[in-house]
Amino acid sequence: MIELQQKAKELNICLSDLQIEQFQIYYEMLIEKNKVMNLTAITEYEEVINKHFLDSILLGAVMDLNKDYSVIDVGTGAGFPGIPLKIVYPQLQVTLLDSLNKRVTFLNEVIDALKLEGIKGIHARAEEAGRKPEYREAFDICVSRAVANLSTLSEYCLPLVKQSGYFISYKSAEIQEELQQSQKAVNILGGKIRNVEALSIPDTEILRQFVIIEKTKHTPKAYPRKAGIASKNPLSQG
């Protein structure tokens, strides 16, 4: 994990020996569990470091995360970006949301093994969570690396964000058209696209774009719609 430590330093993120040890344990658990359930197609050591660990914590290079934020990671899968962010910024209160219970069980095993506090895995669909009083407009920041259209993702994520909080979508290179198509949905859901921050993982050609959406007003009670509707009929089309 020396490579992780060095590359993080290039991003002005300093990792302690304990944090490096936590990443190492996380890597080993991920690879072991991946033998019996599909968590990730990326398993080669260097690729996991670049495409999962560093990619997850890149956000800390474009936004000050050294605050007591409450963060929800929607569609967290194998725990990205939520667990790496928690390792690097231990004061964050993190909720990992996933629709598959087997994945949530794995996430909670990782949390225990890494002795992390102030983080939990929750089994629910985003559409369900967004309607529950304990989660609706309850978080300072919502992050998501989930692969979905930004209009659809906004309907999953913005209902969970407090007014004046942020939804930050991890996106790949070409997003200009997607940004334009999502404007209507973001506005309906109470958000405003503030900016897009582009950053490369050191010594790679991997470019990550962060779409930073501020929650400027309350999400109307009609949203999120029932499970499946946001993906089949995004607000930008309706």
* Residues in CB range of 237: below 8 A, 6 or more apart: 151
pLDDT in tens, 160-193: 999 999 999 999 878 999 999 999 999 999 999 9
Ordered structural domains, the chain, with CATH: 2-232 (3.40.50.150)
Look at residue 173 in the predicted model and tell me its pLDDT: 75
Give residue 141's pLDDT.
Answer: 98
> What pLDDT digit, counting tens, does each position of 184-233 carry?
999 999 999 999 999 999 999 999 999 999 999 999 999 999 999 999 99
Q: What is the pLDDT of residue 191?
A: 98
String of DSSP letters for the chain: -HHHHHHHHHTT----HHHHHHHHHHHHHHHHHHTTS---S--SHHHHIIIIIIHHHTHHHHS---S--EEEEET-TTTTTHHHHHHHSTTSEEEEEES-HHHHHHHHHHHHHTT--SEEEEE--HHHHTTSTTTTT-EEEEEE---S-HHHHHHHHGGGEEEEEEEEEEE-S--HHHHHHHHHHHHHTTEEEEEEEEEEPTTS--EEEEEEEEE-SPPPTT-S-STTHHHHS-TTT-
The model's pLDDT over 109-120, given as tens digits with 9 standing for 90+, comes to 999 999 999 999
Each residue's pLDDT tens digit, 94-153: 999 999 999 999 999 999 999 999 999 999 999 999 999 999 999 999 999 988 899 999
Whole-number pLDDT of residue 212: 98
